[in-house]
Amino acid sequence: MDILHVPNFYNPGGSAKACHEIAYNLREHNQQFIGCVNGSYRYKFMDIGQSHLFDTIGPFDYGDRIHELIKYFKPDVIHVYIPGHESPSYFKDLPENLVKVCTVLCGQEIGFDPLTFDHLIFPSEYNRDLSLSNIQNINSSVIRYGSTCPIEYNYTPIEKEHIVFGRVTAFCSSKKILDTLQCALKLRDNTFLIGGEVQDKNYYREIVNFIRDNKLENVEIYLNMSDEMRESIYERIDVLHYPTTNEAFCFSILEGMERGLSVISYDNSAIPELNHKDNLVLVEDGDIDQLVNETTRLSESKDDCNRLGKLNRSVYEEFYTSQRYSGDVLDLYERLYDER
C-alpha cells in the first residue's frame, strides 16, 4: 500500500509521535511524509521514506504543492494529523479516488468540515465526544495511541531514601507545572525534575520566578533535551508527577507507564481511559490540597510506588503497544481502500 502521511510538524510533539509509531511498524509499505515545521523527527521519517519540508502560506496551507506530490506519488491513502481547531485549506480539493483519513490530535470542537475526510480517528472517547458534540453520523472511530519503549524494561525496586518526582512536558499553562511546584514546595526533601520544550514563554517565566521566590533548591529544570537527556531524566524519576488538563491523549503519561513508573495526575480529559486496572493515582482537577496529600502519601511508600509502577507496565503491555496501534490503523486503511 502507498501511504502519504501529513504530520505537519517534525518536532517531537503529538503529531510526529502519532505518525511515527504507525509508519515505523508499516515499513514494508511505501510511505512518504509532509511537514511544514522542521525538527528532529524529520530524520526519523527519512529512514522510512521520502520526507518533504514545504513552507506554507498560512497555517497548514500547502497550496498546489501537495497536489503535485499526490499526482507524482499516487498514494492509496493520505493520513493527516492536525489539532482539532485548525481548518487547513488544502483538505478540500484532494482527489476523490484518494482515501482520506484524519487523526484529530486535540480535545476541542473541530474547526473543519468532517465530511472532507472518509474517516476521522480520535485517540480517546473524551476527544471524540468533545469534537463531535454538535455533529451526528460521522464516520469515525477511537484508536488509542501506542508506543515503543526506547529502552529494555527491567523492573528494579526503588531503594533510594527519597522518592524522586518528575515530568517530561511542554512548558504551557494547560500542563499545570505550577501545580507540581506546589507539591515541591511542601516536599523539600524530595527532588522534582522538570524537562521539556518552552511553548509559552510567559508561563515559563512564572515557573522560574516561583522557583526563585520560594527558594526551591529541590527543583531541576531541563530545556531543549536530546533523546538521550530525556531518557536520563526518566531513569532518575520514581513517580511521574503529571497534573494536566484537557488532554486528548497524554503521550507523556504513556511514556511513564511503559517505563514502569507510578503516575499521579488529574481526573479530567482522556487520562482516566488509561486507568484500566486502577493503575493511576487520579485526583480532582485543580484540587491542590488533594494533589499534595496524594503526592506526600507516595513519597512515604516505596511499596505503593513499586506496585503501581509494575501495574502500569502491565497495562501498557496489554493495551498500548506500538504494534497494536499500527495494526488497528492498517486495518482501517485496508477496509476503507477495499470499500472504494
Residue pLDDT, tens place only, 163-193? 999 999 889 999 999 999 999 999 999 999 9
* pLDDT for the residue 176: 96
- In angstroms, the CA 277 to CA 167 distance is 22
* pLDDT for the residue 255: 93
Q: Is the pLDDT of residue 60 over 80?
A: no
The contacts of residue 137 (CB under 8 Å, 6+ apart) are none
Q: Is the pLDDT of residue 57 over 90?
A: no
Res. 61 pLDDT band, cuts 50 70 90: confident
CATH code: domain 165-319 is 3.40.50.2000
* Mean pLDDT (whole number) for 193-221: 96
Res. 219 pLDDT band, cuts 50 70 90: very high
Q: 2-146+321-338 with 165-319: one CATH topology?
A: yes
Instruction: Name which of 122-126, 133-137, 139-143, 157-161 the model is least confident about.
Output: 133-137
Q: Is the pLDDT of residue 87 over 80?
A: no
CATH code: domain 2-146+321-338 is 3.40.50.11380
* pLDDT for the residue 93: 80
Q: Is the pLDDT of residue 319 over 80?
A: yes
Output the average pLDDT for the chain: 93
Q: Is the pLDDT of residue 73 over 90?
A: yes
- In angstroms, the CA 62 to CA 265 distance is 38
Residue 39 main-chain phi, psi, to 5 deg: 175, 180
* pLDDT for the residue 223: 93
Residue pLDDT, tens place only, 146-161? 999 988 998 889 988 9
DSSP lists the bridge partners of residue 282 as 265
Residue boundaries of the structural domains of the chain: 2-146+321-338, 165-319
